[in-house]
Amino acid sequence: MYAYTAGRRAFEYANYAFLTLLSLACIFPLVHVLAISFSSSSAATAGLVTFWPVGFTTKSYQYILDDPSFIRSFGITLERVALGTAINMVLTVLIAYPLSKEARQFKFRTVYAWYFVFTILLSGGLIPWYMTIKSTGIMDSIWALVLPGAVPVFNVILLLNFFRGLPKELEESAFIDGSGYWGALWRIYVPLSMPSLATILLFTIVGHWNAWFDGLILMNSPANYPLSTYLQTILTKINMSSLSTDQMKALAAVSDRTAKAAQIFLGALPILIVYPFLQRFFVKGIVMGSVKE
């Protein structure tokens, strides 16, 4: 054990102070956006809002929740997250398990592994990617948002390395008891890999929730935009001609800045709710999934 000297104590205090400042630097922008969303139109326009609402009002949220385009895009994103996450997680597990085996158990295992790694190192480019998806006939549908990225190779690598770190004796004992590879996978490997699976689940949910570019490219109709794509378009420019008379009156009462702040916060809220439940697995899943080849 090391001696708890004055120098060690000073180092720990400085460390805590630095990490506290770093945490506040990450939190303050979100707090500022939240304060603007609850502030009056005049205070937000005048730049009087910092980290506390000025002229507290909920009109911005009333305006957003009455906007059918926001609600529709929010629903599309929920559908994308649910469907895309299920597909990603199932395929990740099914690919990582055989690739985690030795070459004597799975012939050409290294060839298959490099086949997937090659897709990370090199890609066909945007135009071939778009033409391939268009040729399948899934444009302007939810499948265009979830199928092109159905196999996240980085997540596969994390999980297969985690699988390789588990004791081989557990699988051998399952075989002795009459179980096959399917039984060993779902009864031994998956339950013991919850830290890595939780980390991958977090990556997948955040990736689907924040993705906006594919929605902009693959959706022909703005009515099919997921939430991030919808927010990107309105934050860049609001098309006043597309607003109804009631929406224009409501927008005049809340101001463009407070409405955008409310939309940003509502868009980030689901991830802020999910993240604390998975964060405790995050570091363990990353470390244990990356220390082996």
Q: Among all chains, which residue has been given the structure tokens 């302007």?
A: 140
| Residue 35: partners with Cβ closer than 8 Å, 6 or more residues away | 49, 50, 51, 52, 53, 54
> Which residue did the predictor score with more confidence, 48 or 185?
185
Which stretch of 218-222, 271-275, 278-282 has the lowest confidence by average pLDDT? 278-282
Amino acid, res. 212: W
Residue percentage of the chain with pLDDT more than 90: 15
Going from the C-alpha of 270 to that of each of 16, 135, 206, 247, the distances in angstroms are 29, 34, 10, 25
Mean pLDDT estimate for the chain: 81
Helices then strands, each counted (H, E), the chain: 16, 0
* pLDDT number for residue 279: 65
What value does the mean pLDDT take over residues 27-46? 81
- How far is 249 from 245, CA to CA, in rounded Å? 6
Closest to 88 in 3D by CA, of 182, 8, 186, 205: 205
Res. 249: pLDDT tops 70: no
* CATH architecture of the domain formed by 60-288: Orthogonal Bundle (1.10)
What pLDDT does 89 receive?
94
258: closest CA among 18, 1, 24, 61?
A: 61
Of 249, 131, 267, the C-alpha closest to 206 is: 267
Nearest-CA neighbor of 292 among 104, 208, 166? 166
* Residue 214 near residue 232 (C-beta atoms within 8 A): no
pLDDT value at residue 145: 92
Q: What are phi and psi of 141, to 5 degrees?
A: -135, 165
Domain spans, the chain:
1-57, 60-288
CB 159 within 8 A of CB 89: no
- Residues of the chain above pLDDT 70, percent: 85
Q: For tokens 């993240």, what's the residue?
A: 275
Kindly tell me if the per-residue pLDDT of 158 is higher than 60.
yes
Least confident of 60-74, 230-244, 277-291: 277-291
Report whether pLDDT(2) > 90: no
Helices 256-288, 6-37: inter-axial angle, 10-degree rounding: 140
Buried/exposed code over 55-79 (b: 16+ C-beta within 10 A; e: otherwise): eebebbbebbeebebbebbbebbee
Indicate if the pLDDT at residue 292 is higher than 60: no
More confident residue, 279 or 81: 81
Average pLDDT over residues 235-262: 60
Judged against a pLDDT cut of 80, whether residue 239 lies above it is answered with no
Separation between Cα atoms, residue 152 and residue 95, nearest integer Å: 10
**pTM to 2 decimal places:** 0.76
pLDDT of residue 86: 95
Q: How far apart are CA 262 and CA 266, in angstroms?
A: 6
> Does position 143 have pLDDT exceeding 90, yes or no?
yes
Structure confidence by residue, pLDDT tens digits, 55-108: 787 877 887 787 788 889 889 999 999 999 999 999 999 999 999 888 888 888
Residues with Cβ within 8 Å of 235's Cβ and at least 6 positions away in sequence, in order, are 260, 263, 264
pLDDT of residue 33: 84
Grade residue 291 by pLDDT with cuts at 50, 70 and 90: very low
pLDDT level of residue 283 (50, 70, 90 thresholds)? low
